[in-house]
Structure 1
Amino acid sequence: MKAGGFTFIEVMIVLGCLVTLTAVGITLPLHLLEKQETKDFFQLFDSDLIYLQQSAMLSSERNALYLDPKGHKYTIRTGGTAKVILERKIPKSWKIELRTLKIPLSFNSKGTIKQPGTMIIYTDRKRYKVVFPLGKGRHYYEEL
């Protein structure tokens, strides 16, 4: 009488293949998730800075962006009362280093940044230099 079934070696080969496929399947989406998180943050940061610049040109009340690298957040506040208009989180694993950029960041009534400068953002995998040039030019990013 012959017993049906798989040998121990066959089962181990199948389990090894499953573990390998699972490991590959998990690591790829994590990389893509981090990339999308970076893209989403920069898009939101861009729109918040444009809002800040436009509000400076259209309103008599002066707003400013306050960056809190240790608290992993930034806020936009009204100039007179320092009331928080909006607050955004920065991913916990990121590090922000202010180089020549002075906080608070604000614009004058013509849309020009008051104190130009640079900062470095260290994400999980990359570094970005954020430049706020003198004049009406918008800020830009350089991947380091």
Structure 2
Amino acid sequence: MKNNKSGFTLVELLIALFVLQLILVIGYYNAQKATDYSFTLWYEQFELDILYLQKHTMNTSTRYVLQFYPENNYYQIKPSPVRPAIIHRDLPPNWKVSVLTLGNPLSFAHTGQIRQPGTIKVETKDEIYFIYFPFGKGRSYYVKNQ
């Protein structure tokens, strides 16, 4: 009779499990970076829209506003709250924006200073970010909630 052994040794099994675990950890890490990256891209566009709003208000001396519509998940830049939008930006469908202390609509004085500084909260699928608009020349920054 021939002694035919089939199967894996314990060392081979441990090596296979280690490789599988390594692949899963790398995949999870990349998925986390992708979430942060999508918010970063959105925030860069949002900052450009804020800068456009500020510069347009300063150059034309017309009160342009950025109006959030949290229930419909978008924001618009308009010459006034009742006139048609010149810029319309949709947010990703699984995000939620809450205007906490920031004036809605957001606007600037003809000198470039924000009229009602404050905070908004952006909840993505995995993270929560707070965007702060301090007193001054209309710059904003965000903090990722830990």
- Which 10-residue stretch deviates more, 49-58 or 21-30? 21-30
Partner of 2:80: 79
Partner of 2:110: 109
Q: CA RMSD in A?
A: 3.0
Partner of 1:60: 61
SS in 2 for 1:88: strand
Contact 1:101 1:118 in 2 (8 A): yes
Contact 2:67 2:81 in 1 (8 A): no
Distance in 2 of aligned mates of 1:43 and 1:29: 21
- CA deviations 1:58-109 (Å, max 9, x no partner) are 1133211011112111111112861211111112222222211121111010
Distance 1:85 1:19, change over 3 A: same
- Which 10-residue stretch deviates more, 82-91 or 40-49? 82-91
Partner of 1:125: 126
Distance in 2 of aligned mates of 1:103 and 1:133: 15
Aligned residues: 142
Sequence identity, in percent? 31
- CA deviations 1:15-66 (Å, max 9, x no partner) are 9899767756654443332121111001000110011011111113321101
Which amino acid in 1 is paired with 2:60?
A: S
Distance in 2 of aligned mates of 1:26 and 1:81: 47
Partner of 2:143: 142
Q: 1:136, CA displacement in angstroms?
A: 2.1
Distance 1:95 1:25, change over 3 A: same
For structure 2, list consecutive stretches of 5 or more residues without a partner in the other structure.
1-5
Distance 1:137 1:64, change over 3 A: closer
- CA deviations 1:93-136 (Å, max 9, x no partner) are 22222211121111010001111111111222322221112232
